[in-house]
Each structure stands twice: as C-alpha cells, then as structure tokens.
Amino acid sequence: MSELALAAEDFARLMESFDSVAPRVALAVSGGPDSMALAFCAQRWRKSSCVALIVEHGLREESAEEAATVQRRLKAMGIDAEILPWHHEDSLVRVHEAARRARYDLLTSACRRLGAGDLLMAHHRGDQAETVLMRLAKGSGLDGLAGIDPCLVRDGIRILRPFLTIPRARLEATCRAANIAVVHDPSNASEKYARGRLRKVAPLLEREGFTEDRLIALRTHARDAREALEIMTRDFLARSGRVCPGGVVCVARDALATAPRAVALRALRASLRYVHEGPYPPSYDALEALLAAAWGDAPTWGRTVHGCMISASSKSLRFFRELAAVSERVPLSAGQSVLWDDRWLVSSRTLSGVVRPLGVVSHAVCDAVAPDLRARVPWGRARATLPSLWDGDTLLAVPSFDSAAPLSAVYVKQTFP
C-alpha cells in the first residue's frame, strides 16, 4: 500500500519534535525495512550531513556478507556508510543482551569519532508495544512500563527515535514505494529469544485484549505517572538533598523517613546515579535494601551500592564514589583536558602525567601538594576518589578547583538531581 509511505514532510514533522538536532547525525542501520526507511527519509531530510553505521555482530555466518550488502545499498542511495564489527569471545553467555550492549557502545563510540551529536534509531510503534509487553511480563515498575523514550542521552550522544508513533506497515510501504531492497534477520523470529516467542503468540494475546493500542495506552499512563513522580522527587531533593564539595551527595535522613516510599526510592536512585552514572541504574532490590537501612534504627552504618559508598550518620546519608570501583588511568599532557571517571573534566596547564584517583595518602603528602584540599573537601573518602596527576608513584598535583591553577577539575554534572 504505497499510500502509507512516509512523505518527506512527514519525516520533517517527526524531526521537529526534537530540539536543535545536531548539524551531523548518524543513523543506526541493520538493513531491515525499519532502518532502511529511516535511512531513506533521513537522506531526503539532511542529505550529506548523515552517516550510516552498520553493526556487524558476527553471530551468524552470513552477517558479514549482509553488512557489506547493506553498505553497498546505502552508498547507492548516496549515504556514507561504515561497518562496525563486534569482536567477541565465542563462548558468550546471554548473547542477545551482550550484543545489545555492544551495539550501543560501538554506535556511540563511532558517533563521537565522526562528530555526530545525534544518533537516529528506527524503533517503531510495534517495537514500543512489544517492549511494554515484555516488561509487563517481567514485572517491571512504572519506569519499565513507560517503554522506550523517544530521546535520551547515552555516553554523551543523544539517541533519537522519530518512528515510535509510526506503525511498521508504513515503514515497509516506504521501502516498497522507493524500491529499496531490505534484508531480514531470522533471529528476530527465533523462539530462542523472548521477543520472538511473544511474536509467535501475539494473535492469542490480542484476542485476550493485549492489543498494540492498549499496550501503547498503558505506556502513556505509566509515562504520565512517572513524570509526576519525577517532579515530586526533584522537589524532595531540592529541599532535603545537596551536593557537597568533591561531588558528595548528602540527603537528610529524617526527610527520607517521612517521604512516600516511591519518592524515597527515586531519591536514593538519583543520588547514586549523580555520583556514579554507570551503564545501568541500580537494581530495585538494592534500592529497597538501602531504603530499609535508611529507615532503620541504627544511627550509623556504611555500605556499597552501584559503585558508591554510602555512610549514614544520625542526620544524613552521604553518597561517595567507591574508591575500589575507580580504576581509570588516563594520560594527560600539558595544555590538554580529559574526562575522567565520567565525572571530572581535568585540565593541565603545565604538567604531564597520568590521571588516577588520589587514593589514601598521608595528610603531610596531601598538604604539601594541595594545602587547602582538606579544608575544601573534609571527608577522606571523598578526597580518595578525586582525580590527581601522577608520574609513576610520585604525586604531582591535585586539582585546586581553580581554573588558574596548574591542574584544575570541574565536576561535569552541574545540576542535581
């Protein structure tokens, strides 16, 4: 049905829903009808400012040949295309999940290398409904049932999904109308994976009321409820939380004790993720255990969660970056800046060395290199996870948090929560 094909103005309207799209955009293309329709529409919309990225997972014998075929087809459409091979061990566990993580890592890394600020992906309305159904089956809460976000930031790259309101049939019709050849990945229908099993029983589920329309409606209700809770959580943390020197988050314990449970759990999660973003949020079980401890009678305690060390006094919880979880070592030359531990932008005016955690050093060593550091950052746990510059085992400098100093550092997460 060619009348269902997306016109150029249809795609332009979809893209207008995103604020200030980057001058150069990347397209995640697998070669299927969804992503080929995305490539065709994006090329009409932006022409030479688009680059296609093809992840070759190497999980099927024919995948390398398919990737090369897709690359040739894209170039025939006037789109620059690059193949991103995934090198992995043969004995992978949870292959589908590992492949998904690798795909995003490869795509966002390529975007940074190519100077593409936005990555467009071709998830459509049916994908949205299937995602809600899968998360419902797994017992997800509001965040899971809110489905796929049309816009999110991962590894510094904004991921945009313009087709989330578009049925798959329109994308297939777009390819047919433009005479675009596509490939079909047999693993999408494989009962080895949950999505394939759900697709097989989809007609039965629809007869019982699990239609695409109702699943999308459930997603809308969950998204609205999530938005309300997020507003309540921000208000709670604005009143009862603060960021202390060194990137430490402090939350009043008595306020947690009287907050609604859902708000308290979200406040804990926001505090943990401010100190350590991580590729995935902390688990619900870990948050529940942390909240139970915060609500408990013990006046003081400490525990590690999500790469953070949480210490409790009778009045507050303090969230520190966990020293044992910080292993990053980054070379830094004079006149350069580096992002370290995804938290600190470290700059050197005159010194060269390796940026790593300060660790546990004596007060005498600390005072000799940074005389005012202990006054600025009073907690030893916080000082230990600060970036510092080393030459072998010799400590050269600790940031003074002053841009005029030989070594400076800026905490890149400026807003809380």
The reply to whether 240 and 161 lie within a common domain is: no
At 244, which CATH number?
A: 3.30.465
pLDDT, one tens digit per residue, over 309-330 is 999 999 999 999 999 999 899 9
For the chain, how long is the longest CA-to-CA vector? Answer: 77
Distances in Å between the Cα of 352 and the Cα atoms of 45, 55, 370, 388 are: 45, 37, 17, 11
Query: Which token pair is 187?
Result: 């693993």
Quick one: 319 and 330 in the same domain? Answer: no
pLDDT at residue 90, as a whole number: 66
Torsion sign, CA atoms 33, 34, 35, 37: positive
314 and 330, same structural domain? Answer: no
* Structural domain count, the chain: 3
Q: How many residues does the chain have?
A: 417
Name the average pLDDT for the chain. 92
- Each residue of 267-285: pLDDT tens digit? 999 999 999 988 788 999 9
User: What's the predicted TM-score (pTM) here?
Assistant: 0.84
Task: Give pLDDT tens digits for 167-224.
Answer: 999 999 999 999 999 998 777 666 777 777 888 888 888 899 999 999 999 999 999 9
Nearest to 51 by CA among 123, 102, 150, 118: 118
Q: What are phi and psi of 301, to 5 degrees?
A: -170, 170
**48-84 pLDDT, tens digit each:** 789 999 999 887 888 899 999 999 999 999 999 999 9
Q: Which domain holds residue 297?
A: 235-323
Token pair recorded at residue 261: 């449970």
Provide the pLDDT for residue 189.
65
In a domain, 173, yes or no: yes
Going by pLDDT thresholds of 50, 70 and 90, the confidence category of residue 129 is very high
pLDDT of residue 401: 64
Say if residue 126 is in the same domain as residue 174. Answer: yes
Residue 144 CB partners (closer than 8 Å, separation 6+): 135, 138
Task: Give the sign of the dihedral formed by CA 108, CA 111, CA 115, CA 119.
Answer: negative
Q: At 320, phi and psi to the nearest 5?
A: -110, 155
Straight-line distance from the first to the last Cα atom of the chain, in angstroms, rounded to the nearest whole number: 48
Among 290, 323, 356, the domain-final residue is: 323
What residues form DSSP beta bridges with 242? 250
* β partners of residue 243: 249
| Cα pseudo-dihedral 350, 356, 362, 364, rounded to 10 | 10
CA distances (Å), 312 to each of 155, 240, 303, 382, in order?
31, 15, 9, 14
Among 323, 341, 361, the domain-final residue is: 323
HSE, CB side, 13 Å, CA atoms: give it for residue 259.
28
Task: Specify if 219 maps to a domain.
Answer: no
163 plus 298 within the same structural domain: no
Nearest to 220 by CA among 129, 136, 155, 305: 129
Residues 77-104: pLDDT tens digits?
A: 999 999 999 987 765 666 777 888 899 9
Cα 273 off chain centre by? 11
In a domain, 220, yes or no: no
